[in-house]
Amino acid sequence: MINMKKLRFTCSRCGNCCTDKNTLVNLTYLDILRIKKGLDLEIDEVLDIIGFFVFDKTLTNEDKKRMIVTPIETERGLAFIGLLKNSFGNCYFYSPEKKKCLIYNLRPMFCRTFPFSFEVLDEKKGETDSLINIVYTEKGKQYCPGINDEAPLIDTEYWIQLGKRTLNDLKNNHNVIKKWNESVKQGKVVPTVKKFLLKILEFNDN
Ligand code: SF4
Ligand code: SF4
Question: Do residues 60 and 128 lie in contact, with contact meaning Cβ atoms separated by under 8 Å?
Answer: no
More confident residue, 123 or 109: 109
Question: Do residues 78 and 59 lie in contact, with contact meaning Cβ atoms separated by under 8 Å?
Answer: yes
What is d(CA 165, CA 167) in angstroms, rounded to the nearest whole number? Answer: 6
Q: Is 114 in the pocket of ligand 1 (CB under 6 A)?
A: yes
pLDDT value at residue 12: 95
pLDDT band at 126 (very low <50, low <70, confident <90, very high): very low
pLDDT value at residue 206: 55
Q: Residue 3 above 70 pLDDT?
A: no
More confident residue, 23 or 5: 23
Q: In angstroms, what is the span from residue 101 Cα to ligand 2's centroid?
A: 5
**All residues at 6 or more sequence positions from 31 whose CB lies less than 8 Å from its CB, including other chains:** 108, 109, 110
User: Among residues 155, 119, 121, which one has the least CA distance to residue 135?
Assistant: 119
On the CB side of 194, how many CA atoms lie within 13 Å of its CA?
Answer: 6
pLDDT in tens, 104-119: 999 999 999 999 999 8
pLDDT in tens, 45-97: 999 999 999 988 787 887 777 778 889 999 999 999 999 999 999 999 999 99
What is d(CA 169, CA 29) in angstroms, rounded to the nearest whole number? Answer: 9
What are the angstrom distances between the C-alpha of 123 and each of 92, 110, 120, 171, 179?
Answer: 36, 22, 6, 12, 22
Ligand 2 atom nearest to CA at 91? 6
**All residues at 6 or more sequence positions from 59 whose CB lies less than 8 Å from its CB, including other chains:** 67, 71, 78
pLDDT value at residue 59: 76
Q: Where are the domains of the chain?
A: 12-198
What is d(CA 200, CA 197) in angstroms, rounded to the nearest whole number? Answer: 5
Q: Is 17 in the pocket of ligand 1 (CB under 6 A)?
A: yes
pLDDT value at residue 202: 85
pLDDT in tens, 135-194: 999 999 999 999 999 999 999 999 999 999 999 999 999 999 999 999 999 999 999 999
Q: Is 89 in the pocket of ligand 1 (CB under 6 A)?
A: no
